[in-house]
């Protein structure tokens, strides 16, 4: 298991390079196995990358019939609320990619019948023992990952694979998230972080500040950090490996 830090000049480079490498990696995995399980995340860095990915996918060998999409977390809001991570991702990716509905595993929306805890249990059942080929993640300035926040009940040890989150420090307050053990059920973890606001959390995470949820997430084979220079600004010398 190893970590690789990829430093790129700016946020646009991060979107472009990650989209290219992700598409190449999924296509390579599809040549070697029947289906690929890719877990998506929310946030601005990920959404920018999804736009670049859709651009590239249009003229690629990607076989959407053999790609299963999962989510690392979701904002527990009504299905049509633009804040939903799945809506933000699919609206960008589906512009050029025809995903299979049965393979697009969205977390439940707030429907007035079930709360986030009950909806989390449903996703837990759908997920079963699924492991991921690639887990995409952003990181918060506070070191949160998915909807697991430092000093918050979402960060407490659990045997659950999916949990409901209330009183989230990042709006909206109610969410659903994979737990840390589930985030780690991936051969590869790809962190995307851009902007100076993330620099402290990125450096603290890579220096293993265990008070930060992101410091507890690693791919079973590899963990990549795709950073622009602003987000890499506080990294110690040993992480100065250019792309």
Ligand X SMILES: O=C(O)[C@H](O)[C@@H](O)[C@H](O)[C@H](O)COP(=O)(O)O
Binding interface with ligand X (CB under 6 A): 41-45, 73, 75, 85, 138, 140, 144, 146-147, 170
Q: How far is the CB of 17 from ligand X (least distance, A)?
A: 16
Tokens for 235? Answer: 């990294």
Which residue, 29 or 192, has its beta carbon nearer to ligand X? 192
Q: How far is the CB of 139 from ligand X (least distance, A)?
A: 6
- Radius of gyration of the chain, Cα coordinates, nearest whole angstrom: 17
> CA triplet 9, 37, 90: central angle to 5 degrees?
65
Which residue, 42 or 219, has its beta carbon nearer to ligand X? 42
Give the integer Cα–Cα distance in Å for 201 and 205.
Answer: 6
How many residues can be counted in the chain?
A: 243
Which residues, listed in sequence order, are joined to residue 98 by a DSSP beta bridge? none
Give the integer Cα–Cα distance in Å for 203 and 34.
Answer: 37
Which residue, 62 or 139, has its beta carbon nearer to ligand X? 139
Q: How far is the CB of 147 from ligand X (least distance, A)?
A: 6
Cis peptide before 207 (omega within 30 of 0): no
Q: How far is the CB of 28 from ligand X (least distance, A)?
A: 25
Which residue, 62 or 145, has its beta carbon nearer to ligand X? 145
Q: How far is the CB of 146 from ligand X (least distance, A)?
A: 5
Cα dihedral sign for 161, 152, 49, 91?
A: positive
Q: Mutual orientation of helices 44-57 and 11-32 as an angle, nearest 10°?
A: 60
Which residue, 48 or 62, has its beta carbon nearer to ligand X? 48
């Amino acid at each position: 298991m190893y970590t690789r830090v990829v430093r790129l000049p700016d946020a646009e480079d991060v979107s472009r390079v990650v989209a290219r490498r992700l598409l190449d990696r999924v296509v390579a995995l599809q040549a070697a196995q029947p289906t690929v399980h890719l877990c998506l995340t929310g946030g601005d860095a990920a959404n920018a990358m999804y736009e670049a990915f859709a651009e590239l996918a249009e003229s690629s060998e990607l076989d959407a019939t053999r790609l299963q999409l999962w989510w690392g977390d979701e904002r527990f809001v009504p299905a049509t609320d633009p804040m939903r991570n799945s809506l933000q991702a699919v609206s960008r990716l589906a512009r050029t990619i025809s995903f299979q509905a049965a393979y697009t595993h969205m977390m439940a929306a707030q429907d007035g019948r079930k709360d986030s805890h009950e909806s989390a249990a449903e996703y837990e059942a759908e997920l079963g023992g699924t492991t991921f080929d690639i887990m995409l993640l952003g990181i918060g300035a506070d070191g949160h990952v998915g909807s697991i926040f430092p000093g918050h009940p979402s960060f407490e040890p659990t045997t659950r694979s999916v949990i409901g989150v209330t009183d989230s420090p990042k709006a909206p307050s109610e969410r659903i998230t994979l737990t840390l053990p589930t985030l780690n059920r991936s051969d590869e973890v790809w962190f995307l972080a851009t902007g100076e606001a993330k620099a402290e959390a990125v450096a603290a995470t890579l220096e293993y500040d265990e008070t930060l949820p992101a410091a507890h997430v690693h791919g079973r084979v590899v963990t990549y950090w795709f950073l622009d220079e602003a987000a890499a600004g506080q990294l110690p010398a040993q992480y100065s490996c250019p792309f």
